[in-house]
Amino acid sequence: MSSYKDNKVITIGVVSELTGLSERQIRYYEERKLIFPIRSNGKTRKYSFNDVERLVDIANKIEDGIGTFEILKTEKKEKSKEETRNRMLRGQINAAFKIRK
Amino acid sequence: MSSYKDNKVITIGVVSELTGLSERQIRYYEERKLIFPIRSNGKTRKYSFNDVERLVDIANKIEDGIGTFEILKTEKKEKSKEETRNRMLRGQINAAFKIRK
DNA sequence: CGTGTAAGGAATTCTGACACG
DNA sequence: CGTGTAAGGAATTCTGACACG
């Protein structure tokens, strides 16, 4: 389930190099609830490779004029859609099993 | 070819947490040519997940009484063996192709 | 709204050395 | 030989704020 991609081990300086974003931008996206680094010892932020990719994505959207709130809202919708899809799928699977029994 | 595992982005403090080794140990293994972090801005060491796994391996061997020099020597032999194997394999493949032609 | 910056402090990392065994 | 530690300095990161637009 968890892999290297999900392992939050990268400091903000390296994330900045990797993404080309400023530390200010990276911290701001966190403030807007778009990214969630862990804090080692309650202080220093640590990001995963997934976070790095996500940050680039976010930055691209902002460059396209999409606000942080808009990004957050859209993602919530996507997630909700996906959950509905999964729920329906599970329903069909269950129904199929009942028939076989 | 390169993946997240090979990306040297982890600072020594995190490596220490991840491996359970002291920073002293990690730096010492570098001194003994067993591990090669990159230096961001010529100063701070950065390790990959592969390095992390390798460090645990090294530490285990040392705990078993195998010296750093011994480890280095053994690995060189392994590498040499592998190269010989690859060379022979390539030879056979080439031979097979010639026959077909 | 998203980002830059200067400010002061705290946490991290670095090197070279002395110590032990 | 492999590792701990204290020492002093350098690099990194943190927060809260002011600025611009």
- Domain residues of chain B, as ranges? 4-73
Is residue B1 pLDDT above 80, yes or no?
A: no
- Structure confidence by residue, pLDDT tens digits, B38-97: 998 768 999 999 999 999 999 999 999 999 999 999 999 999 999 999 999 999 988 888
- Structure confidence by residue, pLDDT tens digits, A43-87: 899 999 999 999 999 999 999 999 999 999 999 999 999 999 999
| Bases in strand D with any atom closer than 7 Å to a protein CB | 1-5, 10-15
Roughly what angle, to the nearest 10 degrees, separates helices B49-63 and B23-31? 90
Closest residue, by C-alpha, to the C1' of C10: A43
CA-based radius of gyration for chain A: 18
A53-85 burial: b if 16+ Cβ within 10 Å, else e: ebbeebbebbeeeeebeebeeeeeeeeeeeeee
Nearest by CB: A9 against B3, B10, B40? B10
Which residues of the protein have their beta carbon within 7 Å of strand C?
A: A 22, 24-25, 28-29, 32, 40-41, 43-44, 59, 62, 67-69; B 11-14, 16, 23, 27, 43-45
Which amino acid is it at B64? D
- Rounded to whole angstroms, how far apart are CA atoms B9 and B15? 10
pLDDT of residue A41: 76
- Which tokens hold the place of B41? 């801005």
CATH architecture of A4-73: Orthogonal Bundle (1.10)
Closest residue, by C-alpha, to the C1' of C13: B44
Q: Which of residues 15-34 of A touch B (CB under 8 A)?
A: 17-18
